[in-house]
Amino acid sequence: MDHFNYRDGVLYAEDVPLSRIAAEHGTPCYVYSKATLARHFRAYTEALGSQSHLICYAVKANSNLAVLGLLAKLGAGFDIVSVGELERVLKAGGDPAKVVFSGVAKQANEMARALEVGIKCFNVESRPELERLNAVAGELGKTAPVSLRVNPDVDAGTHPYISTGLKDNKFGIPVDEALAVYEFAASLSHVKVVGLDCHIGSQLTETAPFLDALERLLVLMERLHERGIEIEHLDLGGGLGVTYRDEKPPQPFDYASQLLSRLSCWEGGKKLTLLFEPGRSIAANAGVMLTRVEFLKPGEGKNFAIVDAGMNDLIRPSLYQAWQAIVPVDTREARERAVYDVVGPVCETGDFLGKERELAIAENDLLAVRSAGAYGFVMASNYNSRPRPAELMVDGDACYVVRRRESVESLWAGEALLPDSTLGQA
Ligand code: LLP
């Protein structure tokens, strides 16, 4: 459930009409609902009840400082994949001791910074990464806490670009090799094995792949135990899907209760701390992107609704053929219904937000693209020299600018012309 609802024909974010936000802040813009973010986060903590756990929100889904700050206040930990994400977490008041560091290409400077601030765990994705981490920790006179990210080779049944737990994916250590790499880790003097990690993909709409992965991890944990390697925490990654259209993904409660009942049959299950790295299921339906119709362009084969937001602002439809609901913000005036491709201003045929949508709209109307709170702004670019949109956060009847719209000047900040002298010879 989210807090974007119609009242008397106008779409609201909590108690603020989206039409007012567009009038005050312009379009395109992203609007987040604080109550929805908090609700989605609490769904996890409540589902886990008395089981020792830590919810490490996946920063990549939406890394706005206001989002991170809110979640930090609610007690969240964070899953990061770069030093940039780490600095954001720190800036937002997050606790480094609740941070786990994922990613296949951690650089030495990133490892050093994470060790310096004292993160909870490195989710190590390969043997060479382990060697690098051991060397960096040694130089700093520290011990790095590690989990190995194991690739359990299960099919998450999701889009190939966001499936990560198959053996053909670049992520993690193949489950058959994990034992040997754990033994290697245990032999190193500057790393300490504390956990076991996996993340099999994103936008999963069934619990079966998670449970299959858990089975394989439990077998591995038994083997590790036999060799005297003890696991304090089990990190099951993120990946729980959301409803974009008519998907019926399991809710955190269903997901957690199935996992907990499996773990309760397993000796040692009680002692484990469970970690999760949800991104989408917390942020996606806590945000919309507002855009305005510039022109309606009727055609013989197709009608186009040309809007002021494009693939540079929200790339999911173009990149993954992702379907996100597109709805009019103000439905009070009667409009003619027609079927449109909703397209943006970018000079690419692949620049669309939605195809074949039946809409009752006129020029200048506002549209809301739903489920845009995750993998929305964070994937925006300046392609076609388009400043990135503003981000706003609604809290009850208040609306805060949490990132101002980029200016045109900011587009070339950091760039330089060649000196005149060089151009003389051109
Ligand atoms: N942990 C790790 C190690 C991950 O790689 C990811 C997502 C997550 C957690 C969070 O997964 P979530 O709970 O959000 O499913 N841009 C794509 C999604 C890419 C997901 C990448 N990894 C999209 O827009 O659909």
CATH code of the domain in which 130 resides: 3.20.20.10
Domain count, the chain: 2
In a shared domain, residues 300 and 221: no
Instruction: Say if residue 9 carries a ligand binding annotation.
Output: no
In a shared domain, residues 221 and 242: yes
Q: Can you tell me the distance from the alpha carbon of 367 to that of 361, in angstroms, rounded to the nearest whole number? A: 9
**Is residue 269 one of the residues assigned to a domain?**
yes
Task: Give ipTM to 2 decimals.
Answer: 0.99
Q: Can you tell me the distance from the alpha carbon of 362 to that of 293, in angstroms, rounded to the nearest whole number? A: 7
In a shared domain, residues 288 and 267: no
Distance of CA 179 to the CA centre of its chain: 30
Inter-residue contact 285 to 38 (CB < 8 Å) = no
Q: Of these residues, 29, 56, 265, 347, which one is catalytic?
A: 347
pLDDT tens, position by position, 235-258: 999 999 999 999 999 999 999 999
Q: Can you tell me the distance from the alpha carbon of 322 to that of 263, in angstroms, rounded to the nearest whole number? A: 34
**Is residue 37 one of the residues assigned to a domain?**
no
**Is residue 41 one of the residues assigned to a domain?**
no
Q: What pLDDT is stored for residue 424 in this prediction?
A: 75
Instruction: Say if residue 348 carries a ligand binding annotation.
Output: yes
Residue in 362, 245, 379 with CA at minimum distance from that of residue 294: 362
In a shared domain, residues 263 and 116: yes
Instruction: Give the Å distance between the CA of 162 and the centre of ligand 1.
Output: 7
Residue in 341, 347, 337, 336 with CA at minimum distance from that of residue 301: 341
Q: What pLDDT is stored for residue 153 in this prediction?
A: 86
In a shared domain, residues 246 and 132: yes
Q: Can you tell me the distance from the alpha carbon of 177 to that of 298, in angstroms, rounded to the nearest whole number? A: 58
Q: What pLDDT is stored for residue 159 in this prediction?
A: 62
In a shared domain, residues 272 and 288: no
Instruction: Say if residue 316 carries a ligand binding annotation.
Output: yes
358 CB neighbour count, 10 Å cutoff: 8
Nearest ligand 1 atom, CA 202 = 15
Nearest ligand 1 atom, CA 238 = 13
Nearest ligand 1 atom, CA 239 = 15
Choosing from 55, 277, 281, 285 the residue with most ligand 1 atoms within 8 A of its CB, the one to mutate for a pocket test is: 277
Choosing from 37, 44, 60 the residue with most ligand 1 atoms within 8 A of its CB, the one to mutate for a pocket test is: 60
Ligand 1, CB within 6 Å, residue ranges: 58, 61, 79, 102, 162, 164, 199, 202-203, 237-240, 277-281, 316, 320, 375
Instruction: Give the Å distance between the CA of 245 and the centre of ligand 1.
Output: 19
Place of tokens 């806490």: 145
pLDDT tens, position by position, 208-218: 999 999 999 99
Inter-residue contact 283 to 319 (CB < 8 Å) = no
Instruction: Give the Å distance between the CA of 239 and the centre of ligand 1.
Output: 6
pLDDT tens, position by position, 125-160: 999 999 999 999 999 999 999 999 999 988 777 666
pTM of the shown model: 0.97
**Between β-strands 352-360 and 390-395, what pairing exists: parallel, antiparallel or unpaired?**
unpaired
**Is residue 382 one of the residues assigned to a domain?**
yes
Residues in the chain predicted with pLDDT less than 50, given as ranges, are: none
**Last-in-domain residue among 221, 242, 276:** 276
Q: CATH number of the domain that 369 lies in?
A: 2.40.37.10
Instruction: Give the Å distance between the CA of 199 and the centre of ligand 1.
Output: 9
Angle separating helix axes 34-48 and 65-73, nearest 10 degrees = 40
Q: What pLDDT is stored for residue 162 in this prediction?
A: 59
Q: Can you tell me the distance from the alpha carbon of 299 to that of 303, in angstroms, rounded to the nearest whole number? A: 5
In a shared domain, residues 293 and 229: no
Nearest ligand 1 atom, CA 123 = 3
In a shared domain, residues 246 and 227: yes
Instruction: Give the Å distance between the CA of 59 and the centre of ligand 1.
Output: 9
Q: What pLDDT is stored for residue 119 in this prediction?
A: 98
Q: Who contacts 208 (Cβ-Cβ below 8 Å, separation ≥6)? A: none
Instruction: Say if residue 39 carries a ligand binding annotation.
Output: no
Instruction: Give the Å distance between the CA of 61 and the centre of ligand 1.
Output: 7
In a shared domain, residues 269 and 207: yes
Active site residue 198: no
In a shared domain, residues 149 and 260: yes
What is the span of the domain harbouring residue 198? 103-276
**Last-in-domain residue among 276, 304, 335:** 276
Choosing from 280, 314, 316 the residue with most ligand 1 atoms within 8 A of its CB, the one to mutate for a pocket test is: 280
**Last-in-domain residue among 276, 293, 328:** 276
**Is residue 75 one of the residues assigned to a domain?**
no
Give the helix ranges, DSSP H, for 8-143.
Answer: 18-25, 34-48, 65-73, 83-91, 108-117, 127-140
**Is residue 95 one of the residues assigned to a domain?**
no
In a shared domain, residues 327 and 391: yes
Nearest ligand 1 atom, CA 103 = 3
Instruction: Say if residue 149 carries a ligand binding annotation.
Output: no
Instruction: Say if residue 195 carries a ligand binding annotation.
Output: no
Residue 28, preceding peptide bond in cis (omega within 30° of 0): yes
In a shared domain, residues 269 and 341: no
Q: Who contacts 375 (Cβ-Cβ below 8 Å, separation ≥6)? A: 60, 61, 62, 279, 280, 284, 316
